[in-house]
Structure 1
Amino acid sequence: MKKEIKKIWIESEIKGPIIGGTLETNDNSDVIITFSDDTQFVATFFTYENIEMLRKKNKNTGECLNGKYFWASNMLLVDKINIKEVEEIVNHLITENEFENTFEKIIIN
């Protein structure tokens, strides 16, 4: 896959961090990559800190068997969520031919 990135959309840059989170370091966010041919792909980025916060929350609320597991489709675990980090990760995934295994193609009917 050798496509040129046209746009990177990071949900938390628009809406801010999740409730109780901290922008960049304790957050999760959908990321949509648009390529020059207008194909789009989506994945959800979670910070390591956010996973721990969600685990503790789930333990208290009873979700996910009281925090015994956590899953999300097309999940990427990262240190920080910001444009620089996301772009670096996406370019690495493309170079390593792992992008389409990690991101899901958005099909518009």
Structure 2
Amino acid sequence: MGITDPCVTIAEATFVARFFIDPHEDTVRCVANVDVVVDLPDGSRWALTIFTVEEVRRLLARWMETGEVANGSYFWVVDQLIVPEPGVRAMTTAIRELVRSGQITSVGLRCEDSD
């Protein structure tokens, strides 16, 4: 059995984004919490964790029940980006704007070369 690609790749002229999700159609359409690596033409690489607003609500509610994160009293991620809708399409729209505006360097976490 061969190795399948563990991500969905979106390539545009100004960036390549790799969403680390199962490429199954339902997952692509409905993903609400995903790690993404964005490569820019200048060779820089940026990591993001993208959540939907509803996913943040779901996590906070779960943590209130489990007692985690001070009973769900806060939510944070270093490289977090919150979007209003689920799915790779909505997330790609946000990435496109971050790249266009140059804000990818403020929102994303720069990945250092492993060389």
For the aligned pair, the TM-score class normalised by the smaller chain equals 0.7 to 0.9
Equivalent residue, structure 2, for 1:92: 97
Equivalent residue, structure 2, for 1:8: 17
> Which consecutive residues of structure 1, in runs of 5 or more, have no partner in the other structure?
none
**Counterpart amino acid of residue 58 in structure 1:** W
1:47 and 1:84 mapped to 2: Cα distance?
13
Moved over 3 A (4+): 13-17
> Which consecutive residues of structure 2, in runs of 5 or more, have no partner in the other structure?
1-12
CA contact (8 A) 1:75 1:102 kept: yes
CA-based RMSD of the aligned residues comes to 2.4
2:38 and 2:103 mapped to 1: Cα distance?
14
Q: TM-score, normalised by structure 1?
A: 0.76
**Counterpart amino acid of residue 40 in structure 1:** R
Equivalent residue, structure 1, for 2:107: 102
User: Which of 30, 44, 64 is residue 23 of structure 1 equivalent to?
Assistant: 30
1:75 and 1:41 mapped to 2: Cα distance?
12
2:37 partner SS: strand
State how many pairs are aligned: 100
Report the CA distance between 1:90 and its aligned residue.
Answer: 1.6
**Deviations for 1:80-100, whole angstroms, at most 9, x for unmatched residues?**
343322222122112222110
CA contact (8 A) 1:12 1:23 kept: no
